[in-house]
Amino acid sequence: MSGTGQTPLKIEVEAGIAILTLCRPEKLNALNTALIDELAVALRVIERDASVRVVIVTGDGSKAFCAGGDINDWSAHSPVDFGRRWLRDGHQVFDALARLRQPVIAVLNGHALGGGLELAACADIRIAETHIKIGLPETGLGVIPGWSGTQRATRRFGGQIVRRIVLFGEMLDAEAALALGAVDYLTPSGEGLQKAKELAARVLHRAPVATELCKMLINAAEGEDRERAIEAMAGMAAASTDDLREGVAAYREKRKADFRGL
């Protein structure tokens, strides 16, 4: 998979690592409908690609990881379409990112604001470069953080941090974000992607299935996709049994199955 200069999303896959780069630097990598749609397609492909073990998400340039939703895009929607398309479609993409079977690393190589911070919250690990700031400024525009900024962000960052940045409009610099647990690592400017690749290399040396199961369990503990996680793990266990093989064989041979509980 690879992106082109004509697309708002660049996709690179090499040696088990997929790097997704938001490519709208002239708009501070703000999310618009086209970029959300491309993310949706890319995440479906990555989820099913057995060769991909880790996913890194970053932004083009150094000014912004992602400045949130493109105001010229979302403000043009009617109230009904704003809910039906903009918020619902965005939620589906963000949920897909948070629930990827692969560990996800967000490299905040620039400011992460609004939907950009909500996107970063979907990652398992966040790396911040020293010059960046994070915030959820939506209430200053008369709107709410609509892509789980009050829900997933609260689960992953803690309610008090979210209160400060949502209700009081506080912007956190990289050091404050690290101290409060909103990001996990701090690097000098321009070095975030290299740090992400070093962390990704650790994942590549760990057992793939065990890592995938552990991510599902951690997500379930946070209330992230709990029902699917439980049923997926139970299904994997059932699929490894002799009983399943006997049941399928009996169905194909049109006979009564002889289950042995093995």
List residues with catalytic annotation.
Answer: 118, 138
CA distance 235 to 247: 15
Q: Could you identify the residue written with the tokens 């029902």? A: 227
Phi (first) and psi of residue 127, to 5 degrees: -110, 125
Sheet strands (E) in 109-201 = 111-113, 125-129, 133-135, 172-173, 185-187
CA nearest to 72, candidates 30, 37, 117, 135:
30
Phi (first) and psi of residue 53, to 5 degrees: -105, -25
Beta bridge partners of 133: 173
Q: What is the dihedral sign for C-alpha 120, 115, 225, 13?
A: negative
Q: Crossing angle, helix 88-98 and helix 33-48, to 10 degrees?
A: 30
Burial (CB count <10 Å: 0-12, 13-18, 19+), residue 227:
exposed
